[in-house]
Amino acid sequence: MCLDLDHFKTVNDVHGHQVGDQVLKQVASTMEENLRPSDLLARVGGEEFQVLLPDTDIEQAGEIAERIRSTLYDLEIRLNDKVVKITVSVGFAQTGRDGEDIDSLMRIGDQRLYEAKALGRNRWVTG
């Protein structure tokens, strides 16, 4: 899964980079709480994350993505006197169906992530 926080630049612009850093930490922690022990979450830059879901079919991946999406949508991140709300867009790629090597899977997952954003954000796209 390729995940990108929606409109995160606005968080930094409105609340400052220190608040943005705290939001990223809370989001990462919340995502990790919604993953299985075998899943691997990584921040790949800025507000972008990737999750490897071993031994997972596309239906199971959709369930995990929806759990993350809905949990982040409902989350109110409170920092001092500020409340920050976050949504996430997600794109998937599946070994076999979409490619065998990590570069192909990352490229296709990223394309689908941007499709999710083009469709209005706060959603996931499997292809």
**Residue carrying structure tokens 């993350």:** 68
Instruction: Please give the Cα distance from 80 to 31 (Å, whole number).
Output: 22
Helices 17-33 and 8-15 cross at an angle (nearest 10°) of: 140
Can 63 be counted among the known catalytic residues? no
The residue from 32, 33, 47, 115 that is catalytic is 47
Beta carbons of 50 and 2 less than 8 angstroms apart: yes
Instruction: Please give the Cα distance from 94 to 44 (Å, whole number).
Output: 19
Tell me the catalytic residues: 47
